[in-house]
Amino acid sequence: MSRPIPPVINGFPRIDWHRAIFRFPPEPIPAVAVGAGIGSSLGSGRPIKNAAWDRYATELGAAGFTPATFTLLRQSTQERASQIAAERPDLVTERVGEGRPFHRAYRFHPAAWPRWLELVENGVTAKAAVDQMAG
């Protein structure tokens, strides 16, 4: 017997979390075909059955993130994710796809970023808040 899939995670539609996480996955997506299938599902408004993404969304929400603020964080760190992972593994962990060294993903540790949220909520730009957090 499988557990029902929650339509809402931390007060936000599951589909919104999945779209944000698909855009910035915490683990490499294994193949182009898999990624295309996920993208097609999400584009049609159907969340995918992925317990790991649901757990990550729950973790993000518990730390105060919404799908929009998670996306903003990831957009503001896109150019520096590898550097932040190397210098501050408490904030970000780099994941390399098995057999595909060019395929990387970055798992941001939500519990380490509340200060970033606070800075942004107080008017600091997203990138400036990253600079304060990551140095």
Q: Report if residue 124 sits inside a domain.
A: yes
Q: Report if residue 99 sits inside a domain.
A: yes
Residues of the domain holding 71 = 8-134
Do the beta carbons of residue 74 and residue 29 sit within 8 Å? no
Q: Report if residue 1 sits inside a domain.
A: no
User: How many domains are there within the chain?
Assistant: 1
Distance of CA 76 to the CA centre of its chain: 12
**Structure confidence by residue, pLDDT tens digits, 3-49:** 566 688 888 988 899 899 988 888 877 666 566 667 777 777 777 77
Do the beta carbons of residue 22 and residue 38 sit within 8 Å? yes
Q: Report if residue 2 sits inside a domain.
A: no
Q: Report if residue 3 sits inside a domain.
A: no
**Structure confidence by residue, pLDDT tens digits, 84-130:** 999 999 999 988 766 555 578 899 999 999 999 999 999 999 999 99
Q: Report if residue 122 sits inside a domain.
A: yes
